[in-house]
């Protein structure tokens, strides 16, 4: 029974295999399209396939055999074509994964707290000596985490996402300012750009 299960066991294709399947499908569609054009020109489709790429061979009126796959579709890009090279497909997948990994690292570094925010976490400093109630209160105020509140929302906890959103808003406002012909609208957009720049600067200082 176990042997039967092994013979009929199925696993979904990996990402590189899916890439190969999709590329081969696109390649076959392209060959079919070119083949139709040659049939209209008087070429014949033979009942044999190419020994190299397994494409159906064509024959012109002079009985010359012609392989569309080798001579037109693949050409000099065969070694880098995921349709006929699993290694090329694997490299393509690795490049995509590497690019996504780099974007994730950049996002993580952008959202990580600045080292300056933890500078007041030392339990005992010369400025935080408990000489009186007033001194302790002043030290606690100095060591409190900086916050930035806009319209009642604390943006300090998600500074990276907030900066990205503000940059999008800044780009939009800049485009609108360049396109507008209204003085009143231009003044409003200029004010929005100024406040947005201030907010981005404040977030970076958190």
pTM, 2 dp: 0.35
- The percent of residues above 90 in pLDDT, for the chain, comes to 5
Q: What pLDDT was estimated at residue 128?
A: 42
Query: Is residue 67 pLDDT above 80, yes or no?
Result: yes
Q: Is the pLDDT of residue 31 over 80?
A: yes
108 to 5, 125, 157, 204: CA distances (angstroms) = 44, 31, 13, 14
The more confident residue out of 6 and 28 is 28
The C-alpha atoms of residue 206 and residue 201 are separated, in whole angstroms, by 9
């Amino acid at each position: 029974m176990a042997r039967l299960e092994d013979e009929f066991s199925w696993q979904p294709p990996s990402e590189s295999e899916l890439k190969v399947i999709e590329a081969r499908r696109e390649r076959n569609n392209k060959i079919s399209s070119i083949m139709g054009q040659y049939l209209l020109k008087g070429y014949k489709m033979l009942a044999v396939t190419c020994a190299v790429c397994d494409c159906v061979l064509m024959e012109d009126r002079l009985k010359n055999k012609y392989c569309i796959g080798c001579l037109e579709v693949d050409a000099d890009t065969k070694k880098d074509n995921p349709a006929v090279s699993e290694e090329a497909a694997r490299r393509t997948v690795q490049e995509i994964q590497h690019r996504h990994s780099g974007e994730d690292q950049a996002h993580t570094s952008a959202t990580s707290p600045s080292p300056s925010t933890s500078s007041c976490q030392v339990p005992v400093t010369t400025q935080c000596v408990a000489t009186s109630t007033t001194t302790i209160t002043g030290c606690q105020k100095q060591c409190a985490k900086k916050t930035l509140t806009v319209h009642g929302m604390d943006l300090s906890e998600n500074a990276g996402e907030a900066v990205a959103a503000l940059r999008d808003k800044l780009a939009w406002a800049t485009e609108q300012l360049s396109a507008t012909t209204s003085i009143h609208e231009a003044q409003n957009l200029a004010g929005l750009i100024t406040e947005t720049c201030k907010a981005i600067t404040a977030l970076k200082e958190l």
